[in-house]
Amino acid sequence: MGDKREISRRTFLNYALMGTGGFLAAGMITPMIRFAVDPLLQGHAGGDKVAVGSPDEFSAVPKRVEFKVHTKDGWYESESTLTAWVTKNDKGEILALSPICKHLGCTVSWGTGAGQPNEYFCPCHMGRYSINGEHILGTPPTASLDEYETEVKDGKLYLGKVKANPRPGVNG
Protein backbone atom coordinates (compact mmCIF):
# COMPACT_ATOMS: atom_id res chain seq x y z
CA MET A 1 0.00 0.00 0.00
CA GLY A 2 1.04 3.58 0.25
CA ASP A 3 3.58 4.97 2.62
CA LYS A 4 1.92 6.74 5.45
CA ARG A 5 3.92 9.80 6.55
CA GLU A 6 3.41 10.88 10.04
CA ILE A 7 4.06 14.45 11.03
CA SER A 8 5.50 15.45 14.31
CA ARG A 9 3.64 17.44 16.90
CA ARG A 10 5.95 20.41 16.25
CA THR A 11 5.21 20.41 12.50
CA PHE A 12 1.47 20.16 13.15
CA LEU A 13 1.60 23.15 15.55
CA ASN A 14 3.63 25.15 12.99
CA TYR A 15 1.01 24.47 10.30
CA ALA A 16 -1.86 25.28 12.65
CA LEU A 17 -0.31 28.54 13.88
CA MET A 18 0.68 29.67 10.38
CA GLY A 19 -2.79 28.91 9.04
CA THR A 20 -4.49 30.77 11.89
CA GLY A 21 -2.10 33.71 11.60
CA GLY A 22 -2.63 33.91 7.84
CA PHE A 23 -6.41 33.82 8.29
CA LEU A 24 -6.30 36.62 10.89
CA ALA A 25 -3.93 38.73 8.77
CA ALA A 26 -6.20 38.38 5.73
CA GLY A 27 -9.15 39.42 7.89
CA MET A 28 -7.34 42.61 8.93
CA ILE A 29 -5.82 43.51 5.56
CA THR A 30 -8.94 42.99 3.42
CA PRO A 31 -10.88 46.00 4.86
CA MET A 32 -7.78 48.19 4.50
CA ILE A 33 -7.41 47.29 0.83
CA ARG A 34 -11.12 47.85 0.23
CA PHE A 35 -10.91 51.25 1.98
CA ALA A 36 -8.08 52.31 -0.33
CA VAL A 37 -9.50 50.94 -3.59
CA ASP A 38 -13.27 51.49 -3.21
CA PRO A 39 -13.35 55.23 -4.11
CA LEU A 40 -11.54 54.44 -7.36
CA LEU A 41 -14.22 51.92 -8.31
CA GLN A 42 -17.17 54.23 -7.62
CA GLY A 43 -18.89 55.81 -10.61
CA HIS A 44 -18.83 59.58 -11.00
CA ALA A 45 -22.38 60.90 -10.64
CA GLY A 46 -23.56 63.91 -12.60
CA GLY A 47 -21.80 66.00 -15.20
CA ASP A 48 -18.63 67.93 -14.78
CA LYS A 49 -20.13 71.24 -15.95
CA VAL A 50 -22.55 73.58 -14.19
CA ALA A 51 -25.15 75.86 -15.80
CA VAL A 52 -24.68 79.54 -14.88
CA GLY A 53 -27.26 81.24 -17.10
CA SER A 54 -28.16 82.11 -20.64
CA PRO A 55 -25.41 83.34 -23.00
CA ASP A 56 -27.64 86.35 -23.75
CA GLU A 57 -27.14 87.60 -20.16
CA PHE A 58 -23.49 88.36 -20.81
CA SER A 59 -21.84 91.22 -22.69
CA ALA A 60 -18.45 92.87 -23.15
CA VAL A 61 -18.64 94.11 -19.56
CA PRO A 62 -17.57 91.35 -17.14
CA LYS A 63 -20.37 89.92 -15.03
CA ARG A 64 -19.71 88.08 -11.80
CA VAL A 65 -21.55 84.76 -11.44
CA GLU A 66 -21.61 82.39 -8.49
CA PHE A 67 -22.34 78.70 -8.86
CA LYS A 68 -22.24 75.60 -6.70
CA VAL A 69 -20.33 72.45 -7.47
CA HIS A 70 -20.65 69.09 -5.80
CA THR A 71 -17.27 67.77 -4.67
CA LYS A 72 -16.58 64.18 -3.68
CA ASP A 73 -13.26 63.24 -2.11
CA GLY A 74 -13.33 59.58 -1.21
CA TRP A 75 -16.26 59.35 1.19
CA TYR A 76 -16.39 63.08 1.97
CA GLU A 77 -18.95 64.98 -0.09
CA SER A 78 -19.45 68.74 -0.01
CA GLU A 79 -21.00 71.64 -1.89
CA SER A 80 -18.63 74.47 -2.77
CA THR A 81 -19.57 77.91 -4.06
CA LEU A 82 -17.31 79.14 -6.85
CA THR A 83 -17.20 82.45 -8.68
CA ALA A 84 -16.35 83.43 -12.25
CA TRP A 85 -16.11 86.65 -14.26
CA VAL A 86 -17.89 86.06 -17.57
CA THR A 87 -17.63 88.21 -20.73
CA LYS A 88 -18.84 87.82 -24.31
CA ASN A 89 -16.97 89.54 -27.16
CA ASP A 90 -18.35 90.92 -30.46
CA LYS A 91 -17.97 87.52 -32.13
CA GLY A 92 -20.12 85.87 -29.43
CA GLU A 93 -17.17 84.05 -27.86
CA ILE A 94 -17.55 83.61 -24.13
CA LEU A 95 -14.66 83.86 -21.69
CA ALA A 96 -15.07 82.87 -18.04
CA LEU A 97 -12.18 83.80 -15.74
CA SER A 98 -11.37 82.61 -12.25
CA PRO A 99 -11.28 85.48 -9.74
CA ILE A 100 -8.25 84.03 -7.93
CA CYS A 101 -5.18 86.26 -8.28
CA LYS A 102 -2.10 84.39 -9.50
CA HIS A 103 0.16 86.33 -7.13
CA LEU A 104 -0.99 85.21 -3.69
CA GLY A 105 -4.53 83.89 -4.18
CA CYS A 106 -6.56 86.99 -3.27
CA THR A 107 -9.86 87.71 -5.04
CA VAL A 108 -9.84 90.11 -7.99
CA SER A 109 -12.74 92.36 -8.93
CA TRP A 110 -13.63 94.30 -12.07
CA GLY A 111 -13.16 98.07 -12.35
CA THR A 112 -12.27 98.83 -8.73
CA GLY A 113 -8.66 99.93 -9.27
CA ALA A 114 -7.97 103.64 -8.97
CA GLY A 115 -7.17 104.98 -12.43
CA GLN A 116 -7.82 101.63 -14.16
CA PRO A 117 -11.62 101.31 -14.48
CA ASN A 118 -11.43 98.71 -17.28
CA GLU A 119 -9.19 96.14 -15.61
CA TYR A 120 -9.41 93.40 -13.03
CA PHE A 121 -7.78 94.59 -9.83
CA CYS A 122 -6.41 92.72 -6.83
CA PRO A 123 -6.42 95.00 -3.77
CA CYS A 124 -3.99 92.87 -1.75
CA HIS A 125 -0.83 93.86 -3.64
CA MET A 126 -2.13 96.12 -6.45
CA GLY A 127 -2.21 93.34 -9.05
CA ARG A 128 -3.81 94.20 -12.40
CA TYR A 129 -5.21 92.13 -15.27
CA SER A 130 -6.66 93.07 -18.67
CA ILE A 131 -10.24 92.20 -19.63
CA ASN A 132 -8.97 88.89 -21.13
CA GLY A 133 -7.27 87.97 -17.85
CA GLU A 134 -3.75 88.79 -19.08
CA HIS A 135 -1.52 89.98 -16.27
CA ILE A 136 -0.23 93.55 -16.65
CA LEU A 137 3.56 93.51 -16.80
CA GLY A 138 5.22 95.41 -13.97
CA THR A 139 2.56 94.42 -11.40
CA PRO A 140 2.95 91.59 -8.86
CA PRO A 141 1.13 88.75 -10.71
CA THR A 142 3.43 86.66 -12.86
CA ALA A 143 0.73 84.73 -14.72
CA SER A 144 -2.63 85.43 -16.31
CA LEU A 145 -5.92 84.58 -14.55
CA ASP A 146 -7.06 81.00 -15.02
CA GLU A 147 -10.12 80.41 -17.14
CA TYR A 148 -13.04 77.98 -16.93
CA GLU A 149 -13.93 75.61 -19.73
CA THR A 150 -17.14 76.91 -21.33
CA GLU A 151 -19.88 75.24 -23.34
CA VAL A 152 -23.15 76.59 -24.69
CA LYS A 153 -25.79 73.89 -24.88
CA ASP A 154 -29.59 74.07 -25.09
CA GLY A 155 -29.55 77.85 -24.61
CA LYS A 156 -27.50 77.73 -21.40
CA LEU A 157 -23.90 78.53 -20.58
CA TYR A 158 -22.06 75.77 -18.75
CA LEU A 159 -18.77 76.21 -16.90
CA GLY A 160 -16.41 73.29 -16.37
CA LYS A 161 -12.98 72.79 -14.89
CA VAL A 162 -10.39 75.52 -14.46
CA LYS A 163 -7.51 75.52 -16.93
CA ALA A 164 -4.44 77.71 -17.29
CA ASN A 165 -4.88 80.88 -19.32
CA PRO A 166 -2.53 80.66 -22.33
CA ARG A 167 -2.37 84.45 -22.83
CA PRO A 168 0.93 86.11 -21.95
CA GLY A 169 1.27 89.31 -19.98
CA VAL A 170 0.66 92.69 -21.61
CA ASN A 171 2.02 96.17 -21.07
CA GLY A 172 -0.29 98.40 -19.10
Residue 108 contacts residue 101 (beta carbons within 8 Å): yes
Tens digit of pLDDT for each residue in 41-63? 665 544 578 888 888 888 888 88
Determine how many CB atoms are found less than 10 A away from the CB of residue 58.
Answer: 21
Portion of the chain with pLDDT greater than 70, in percent: 90
Mean pLDDT of 62-75: 81
C-beta neighbour count of 4 within 10 angstroms? 5
- For the segment 106-116, what is each residue's pLDDT rounded down to a tens digit? 888 887 777 77
- Looking at residue 38, its pLDDT comes to 73
Average pLDDT over residues 8-17: 91
Confidence of residue 2 (pLDDT cuts 50, 70, 90): low
Per-residue model confidence (pLDDT) at position 39:
67
Q: How far apart are CA 21 and CA 166, in angstroms?
A: 58
Is pTM, for the whole model, over 0.85?
Answer: no
Cβ contacts of 14 within 8 Å, gap of 6 or more? none
